[in-house]
Amino acid sequence: MTEASERRTDAQGDWEPRIAAFLCNWCSYAGADLAGVSRIQYPPNVRVIRVPCSGRINPLFLVKALQSGMDGVLVSGCHPGDCHYISGNLYARRKFALMKSLLEYVGIEPGRVHFSWVSAAEGVRFAELLHTVIESVRELGPAERMVRRVEAMP
Amino acid sequence: MTEKKEGTKPETPMDARIVSKEDLIAALTALAQDHTVIAPVDDRTGAVFAPTQDAAAVRLEYRNTSLSPKAAVFPQIETLLAFQDGVATETLPEPPETVLFGARPCDARALAMLDRVFQRDGIDDPYVAARRDRLTVIALACDEPGPACFCTSVGGAPDDHTGADVLATDLGEALLMRPVTERGEALLAALDGARPAEAGEIEAAQERSAAAAEKIGRVPVPSEPARLLEAFDSEIWAEIAAGCLGCGACTYACPTCHCFDLTDEHKRGTGRRVRSWDTCALPLFTLHASGHNPRPSTDARLRQRVLHKFAYGPETIDEMLCVGCGRCVSVCPSGIDLRRILARLDGCIAGGGPG
Amino acid sequence: MSNPYLPYPVRIERITIENDARDLKTFELSFVEPDHAAAFEHVPGQFAELSVLGTGECPIGIASSPTDGDRVSFTVKKTGVVSDELHRAREGRVLGVRGPLGNGFPLERMRSKNLVIVGGGFAFTTLRALIRYVLHDDHRSDFGDVTVVYGARTPGELLYKDELDAWQDRDDLSAHITIDAAADGWEGHVGFVPTVLDEVAPSPKDAILVVCGPPAMVKFTLPVAAQLGFAPADTLLSLEMRMKCGIGKCGRCNIGHKYVCTDGPVFTLEELSALPAEF
Amino acid sequence: MTVQEQLRHRAAELLADGTIDLFVGYAASDAPLKAAVHVARTAADAEMLTWNSFCAPNVAALLPKLLRRPDGAGEDWAPQRVGILAKGCVSRSIVGLIKAHQIPREAVHVIGVGCDGVVDRHRAARLFTPAAILDAEPLDGDRMLLRGTDGAERTVDLSEILLGSCLDCQHRNAVLADETIGDPVPETGPGPQEDAATSFAARPIDERWEAFEEEISRCIRCYACREACPNCYCTECFAEETEPHWIGVTTDPSDLMLFHLGRAFHQAGRCVDCGACVAACPMGIDLRLLTHKVNRDVEALFGGEASVSLDIVEPLLQFEMTDDEGFITEP
C-alpha cells in the first residue's frame, strides 16, 4: 500500500512537489476554502486532509505521509487561543515541536515538515503559506529519505 | 534438493584436506567471484553472518552470532507472489550459487532440520528449496564453546557434520577440511593449495573437538518427549514464564524457529505477498478474528515454544527442534534460560508427573 | 511440483447476503482456468485460503459440495481486513483460491452410517457442504438416517434459508432448526442447540455425530452427546484456528503436534482428548 | 547484612506477613553479565533474589500485566499486592504507571535501593569481539574481571561497560518507596560520557540520516525494546494495528524507522531513561539515540523530567500559552 510514489510531473515533465496538508476543520480548512472562493491563486501541489482539530493529528501521520512518498507535509490549525476545542492546538503544539525536532535530528530535511496557524479569515495567509512551503520543498527536490522502497526489497 | 539427499559421506580420512589460512582466504576470494559467500564477520554484537566480498574479514574464531544463518534459506522477509491487475504470479528466488562458510555445527544441523520442516507431509516449500538447492555449507567445528552452549545434550557435537557439505576444523595455522557430501567433495577438489591430510592432523582435529565437547555443560533433555505433555497443565509454566516479557527475541535468534506470517501489500493495482518471520511469543500470533485466543498468556506462549521444540518436533520431524546453540539464553532480555527450563521439566516428570 | 502458495484465479459469479445483519455473504466462484476446477478436487469439510490479492488471505470452509459442479462457494463473515474487502467486492471481481486444504470429513468411515449433524451460527458452512453431498442422488443411498440440528440466535441469522425450508420438506432427512429466543413469525424450535439435540435424542446406534459451531455451543453439546451415548471415536468436530499458510509450515494452528490445517480441521473427539486442550 | 541479604530477608517477611502476594526482582543468571527477572511467591523463592550490577531489566514492566483488571472481572475483583525492588529508574517507572492509571498505588509495595549503574552487555562484549565473554566477576572499587572464550582476562572499570543511561543517571535512588534497603548512593551529575544526543545532533544532516538508517536497519522487529519498556503497556500497539495499517511487516528501512520514530515519540515526556530497551535489544541497537533526544527536547522546551514525582503533571499532558513557537513556519 505504500510503495514509493510515482513522481508527479507537470505538463513539461518537470518534477512538481507533492504536499500533504493536514488542516483543522474550524480554522485552517476554512481559510483554505476562503482562499478558494476568493479566487486567490495557490499552486495545485497540495493534498488536503481535513481533521477536526490540530490536536487530532497524530504526529505519526506526518511520518506516514513521508513514507508514502509525499515530498513535504504541512500541518495547520487555529491560532493559539482560538481553538474551537479551547486547547487542542496547544497540546498539539508541544507534540509538533518535539516531532519536528526529532525528524530533523534523524536527518529528515527541516524544509519538508511545516507547522503553522491559519484562521478562517486568513485566505491570503493560507495561499502565501502554501507558496512558502512548496518553495521550500521544491528547493530540496523529490523526497528520498523515509520513502518506502519496495523495489529495493528482495 | 535431490542432489543433496543423494550426497553420501565419503570416507573422511581418504578425502580430508589441509588448507592453510592464507590459501583459505584466497579460495574464499576466488569463490566470491561467482558465488555469494556468506560468512561470519565482525559486528558490535560479536559476529554476524553477512554476504562478504572481503575474505580477509572472515572470522574463524568467533563465538555464536547473535542471529543464526538460517536467513540463507529462510530470509526474514521475502516476496512469494507478485500481483498485477488481479493476477498473481510466483516470484521464486533465483539466487546465485551460495557458500555459507563458517557456520558452527549447531547451525548447520539446524539447516538440516529446516529442510525437514519445509518438506513435511509431501508439501515442499519451493522458496526454501530454491535457496537450499544452491547452497553449499562449510561448517566450522567448535574448539571454544560459548557460555550458553549445550549442543551435546541435544544430539549435536562440536564437530557434528549434519547439514554440512564440508566440515572444517581450525588447527591453528591451517584448517582440516573434510567433505561430507558430493557437493562438498567437488568444492574441495577445486580448492587451490589443498593437500591431503595426514593421520596426525585428523587426530589433532578430533582431539580439539573432543576437548571442546568436554567444556560444554550438560543439560537434562527429555528422553521420552511425549512425557512432556504430562506437564502441559502444570503450574510450573506460570513460574517459568513469570519473568517473560513476551518479546520475540528468542524465536528470531533461534536457528530452528521457522514460524512465519503472510501479508499482502498493494498500491494501485500492483502488489505482492510477503512472507515474514513471525513469533509464537506474541499474542497476535494465535488471536482469532472472533477475539478468542487459544494461547492467551505468556505462560501458554512460552510453553508452546518449549514443547514445539522438545515434544512436538520429535513427532513431526522425528527429532527435537533444538540444536543447543544457546542463543535464546544469550538474547533473552529477562534472563530466561532454556537450560533451566529443561532441568525444571526433567524434575517435574521424574518427580512423578506434573508438579 | 506446483507452488502451494500460488492461488487459482476465481471469479465471483454470485453474491448472496445470508443474514439480516448483512455481515454474512456467500460467494459463488468459478475458476478462471477450467483446468483449475478439476484440480480443485475436494471433499466436504475441507477449507481453502481465499485471497483478495493485495489485501490478504483468510482460511474459509468450503460451503459447497463437490456434487455442485465446477463452482465453489464460501460463506464469509465480515470480521477483519480481508473479509471486509471481500464484502466490498462485486460480482465479476477476480479473487484467488488456494486449496483444497485440510482433511475434510472421513466419508469412508461415515458411509452406511446414520448421521447426526449439529451446527450453530455461521460455522454451519462445511456442514452444509456435507449435507448437500449426502443428499445428492448419487450418494443418498450410501448413508443411513440423517438428522440435522442447526441453530442461530435469531431467524434472520440462519444461513441458507431456502435450503433449510427445502430440507424440512424432505422425508429422507430430519431437520431441526432452532433459534435462541422466541421471535415473531417463528414456528420452529426455540432454545439452544444442545437442548434441542437432547430433545430430538437421535440414537447413537451405527451413527456418527458431527459437531461444528461456536466454542460455547460445542462445549455444551458434547456432554449431551455423551449422555445420548455417542462414543468419542464416533464424534467428529471441525475446528477453527488462526492460520496463514494452510500447509503445515507457518506454525500457528497446532494443537500439540497436530496441525489443524493439515491434520484437521476435522478430528474425532477421541483424537482431541489425546491432545492438549489448547484450542 | 549486605543489601542482597536485606532484600531476601525483607521480601520473605513481606510475603510471610501477607503484605504482598508476590515480589518482583532479580535472580542470578547462568549466562554472563545478565540477571534474570524473578518473581518470588514463597520464602524459598525470595532466597533466590539478587542485587548486582547485572540487574538491567526494568522490572516495572511486569506491573501492568500483573495488576491489570482481567476481562470480565467482577465488582469484588482486587489486584494482587506486588512487592518490587526499585532502583531509581524503576521507581520512576512505577510513578509513571501510577499517574497513567495503569497500576493502583496501593497495590505496590516498593523497596527502594540505591544503584551504581548496570552493565551494558553489548558494550562489554565489544571488548572481546569476536570472542565472547565467558564470565564476569565483580572486584572491589567499581572494577570487574571479565574472562573471554578465547582465554583472555581483562579488568575493566565499571564506567567502561555501564549502560549509557546509567552514566548520565541523576536518580540513582528511588523517588518513591515504601521502604529502602542499603545506604543511599550519592546522586551524581551528568556522567563522564559525552551526551550522545548532543553529539549526534552536531553532525551534518546527511551524516545523521546515514547513521540513523544504518542503526535502525539492524532491527529484526522482535519488539524486545517494546516489551522491556514499562511505558509500553498498550494492549494493542500501533506497530501491529491492521486498521489503520501503520507499518508494513517488512525490514524496509522506512518500516523500521516508522516503528522506532513512533516508539520514541510515544515515550515523549514519559521515558525515564532506564536503558532497559538498550539492554534488551538482541541486535545492540542504540535505541537511546532517539529516546535521549526526545528527553533532552522535553527538558529544554517544557522543563522537568518524566515521572520524578506523583504530583507533577507529565509535560505532554499540559501546555503553556507561552510555549515555544520557534518551529512555526510563517508565510
List chain D residues with CB under 8 Å of A135: none
Nearest in space to B60 (alpha carbons), one of D122, D150, D123, D154: D150
| Cβ contacts of A118 within 8 Å, gap of 6 or more | A23, A27, A28, A31, A32, A76, A125, A126, A129
Q: Which of B40, B46, B59 sits opposite D125 (nearest CB)?
A: B46
Task: Fold for A17-140, please state it.
Answer: Rossmann fold (3.40.50)
Chain mean pLDDT for chain C: 93
List chain B residues with CB under 8 Å of D234: none
List chain C residues with CB under 8 Å of B307: 256
Rounded Cα distance, A44 and A23, in Å = 16
Assigned C-alpha cell, D183:
545506604
At B14, is the pLDDT very low, low, confident or very high (cuts 50, 70, 90)?
Answer: low
Amino acid residing at A29: Y
Give the mean pLDDT of B228-245. 92
Structure confidence at residue B115 (pLDDT): 95
Rounded Cα distance, C197 and C156, in Å = 21
List chain B residues with CB under 8 Å of A154: 75, 77-79, 93
Cβ pair C172, C198 in contact under 8 A: no
Total residues belonging to chain C: 279
The tens digit of pLDDT for each residue in C153-181 reads 999 999 999 999 999 889 999 999 999 99
Cβ pair D160, D120 in contact under 8 A: no
Structure confidence at residue C178 (pLDDT): 93
Whether residue D138 lies within 8 A of chain B, CB to CB, comes out as: no
Distance from CA of B9 to the nearest CA of D (A): 31
Distance from CA of B26 to the nearest CA of C (A): 40
Q: What is each CA distance from D11 to B11, B293, D1, D84, in whole angstroms?
A: 62, 35, 14, 9
Q: Is C112 left (phi over 0), alpha (psi -120 to 50) or beta?
A: left
Parallel, antiparallel or unpaired: strands B135-140 and B166-170: parallel
Whether residue D34 lies within 8 A of chain B, CB to CB, comes out as: yes
Chain mean pLDDT for chain B: 90
CATH number at C8-101: 2.40.30.10
The tens digit of pLDDT for each residue in D267-303 reads 999 999 999 999 999 999 999 999 999 999 999 999 9
**Domain C107-238 listed as CATH 1.20.1050.10:** no
Domain ranges of chain C: 8-101, 107-238
Whether C6 and B264 lie within 8 Å, measured CB to CB: no
List chain C residues with CB under 8 Å of B89: 6
Rounded Cα distance, D269 and B2, in Å = 59
Evaluate the CA torsion angle B217, B220, B225, B228 in order and state its sign: negative
The tens digit of pLDDT for each residue in A90-123 reads 999 999 999 999 999 999 999 999 999 999 999 9
Cβ pair D163, D117 in contact under 8 A: yes
At B64, is the pLDDT very low, low, confident or very high (cuts 50, 70, 90)?
Answer: confident
Q: Which of D28-42, D87-101, D231-245 has the lowest mean pLDDT?
A: D231-245
Residue-wise DSSP of D222-288: --HHHHT-TT---SS-TTT--SS--S-SS--HHHHHHHHHHHHHHTTTT-----HHHHH-TT---TH
Rounded Cα distance, B106 and B151, in Å = 7
Name all chains with 3 or more CB-CB pairs below 8 Å to chain C. Answer: B, D
List chain D residues with CB under 8 Å of B67: 220, 282-283
Q: How many other CB atoms are there within 10 angstroms of residue A44's CB atom? A: 11
- Cell match 522438545: residue? B310
The tens digit of pLDDT for each residue in C41-59 reads 999 999 999 999 999 999 9
pTM: 0.93
- Cell match 473479509: residue? C83
List chain C residues with CB under 8 Å of B127: 5
Whether residue B91 lies within 8 A of chain A, CB to CB, comes out as: no
Which tops the pLDDT comparison, C182 or D62?
Answer: D62
List chain C residues with CB under 8 Å of D242: 80-81
Rounded Cα distance, D124 and D132, in Å = 9
Q: Which of D210, D254, D262 sits opposite A60 (nearest CB)?
A: D262
Domain ranges of chain A: 17-140
At B351, is the pLDDT very low, low, confident or very high (cuts 50, 70, 90)?
Answer: low
Whether residue C219 lies within 8 A of chain B, CB to CB, comes out as: no
Cis peptide bond prior to C202, omega within 30° of 0: no
Q: Is residue D42 predicted with pLDDT exceeding 90?
A: yes
Assigned C-alpha cell, D295:
528527553
Distance from CA of D163 to the nearest CA of A (A): 22
Cβ pair D67, D107 in contact under 8 A: yes
Distance from CA of A119 to the nearest CA of B (A): 35
Whether A1 and B266 lie within 8 Å, measured CB to CB: yes
Give the mean pLDDT of B276-285. 94
Give the mean pLDDT of D219-235. 96
**Which one of B36, B265, B266 would you mutate to disrupt binding with A, by most A Cβ within 10 Å of its Cβ?**
B265
List chain D residues with CB under 8 Å of A19: none
Which tops the pLDDT comparison, B270 or A104?
Answer: A104
At A9, is the pLDDT very low, low, confident or very high (cuts 50, 70, 90)?
Answer: low
Whether residue A101 lies within 8 A of chain D, CB to CB, comes out as: yes
Assigned C-alpha cell, C21:
445483519
Total residues belonging to chain D: 331
Whether residue A33 lies within 8 A of chain D, CB to CB, comes out as: no
**Which one of C1, C29, C53, C259 would you mutate to disrupt binding with B, by most B Cβ within 10 Å of its Cβ?**
C53
Give the mean pLDDT of B116-125. 88
Nearest in space to B164 (alpha carbons), one of B1, B319, B325, B9: B9
SS3 state of residue D137: strand
Rounded Cα distance, A146 and A134, in Å = 19
Distance from CA of D240 to the nearest CA of C (A): 13
Give the mean pLDDT of B204-223. 92
Chain B to chain D Cβ contacts (< 8 Å): 150
Rg (CA), chain A: 15
- Max distance between CA atoms of chain A, in angstroms, equals 51
Cβ pair D114, D106 in contact under 8 A: no
Q: How many other CB atoms are there within 10 angstroms of residue B40's CB atom? A: 28
Give the mean pLDDT of D157-167. 91
**Which one of A58, A94, A146, A149 would you mutate to disrupt binding with D, by most D Cβ within 10 Å of its Cβ?**
A94
DSSP code of residue D323: -
List chain D residues with CB under 8 Å of C83: none
- Tens-digit pLDDT string for chain C (279 aa): 589 999 999 999 999 999 999 999 999 999 999 999 999 999 999 999 999 999 999 999 999 999 999 999 999 999 989 999 999 999 999 999 999 999 999 999 999 999 999 999 888 999 999 999 999 999 999 999 999 999 999 999 999 999 999 998 899 999 999 999 988 888 889 999 999 999 999 999 999 999 999 888 999 999 999 999 999 999 999 998 889 999 999 999 999 999 999 998 999 999 999 999 888
Q: Is C34 left (phi over 0), alpha (psi -120 to 50) or beta?
A: alpha
Structure confidence at residue A11 (pLDDT): 65
Whether D265 and A106 lie within 8 Å, measured CB to CB: no
Q: How many other CB atoms are there within 10 angstroms of residue B313's CB atom? A: 21
In chain A, residues 128-147 whose CB comes closer than 8 Å to chain D: 128-129, 131-133, 136, 145-147
Structure confidence at residue B2 (pLDDT): 36
Structure confidence at residue A7 (pLDDT): 55
Residue-wise DSSP of chain C: ---TTPPEEEEEEEEEE-STTS-EEEEEEEESSHHHHHH----TT-EEEEEETTTEEEEEEB-S-GGG-S-EEEEEE--SHHHHHHHH--TT-EEEEEEEES----HHHHTTSEEEEEEEGGGGHHHHHHHHHHHSTTTGGGS--EEEEEEESSGGG-SSHHHHHHHHH-SS-EEEEEESS--TT--SEES-HHHHHHHH----TTEEEEEES-HHHHHHHHHHHHHHT--GGGEEEE-----SSSSS-S--SEETTEETTTT-SEEEHHHHHTS-S--
Give the mean pLDDT of D56-85. 93
Assigned C-alpha cell, B227:
512425557
Cβ pair B187, B139 in contact under 8 A: no
List chain A residues with CB under 8 Å of D205: 104, 107, 109
Chain mean pLDDT for chain D: 93
In chain A, residues 12-31 whose CB comes closer than 8 Å to chain D: none
Structure confidence at residue C65 (pLDDT): 96
Whether B79 and A153 lie within 8 Å, measured CB to CB: yes
Give yes or no on whether C8-101 and C107-238 have one common fold.
Answer: no
Angle of the C193-200 helix axis to the C215-228 helix axis, nearest 10: 20
The tens digit of pLDDT for each residue in A12-22 reads 778 999 999 99
| Cβ contacts of A58 within 8 Å, gap of 6 or more | none
- Percent of chain D residues past pLDDT 90, beyond the cut: 78
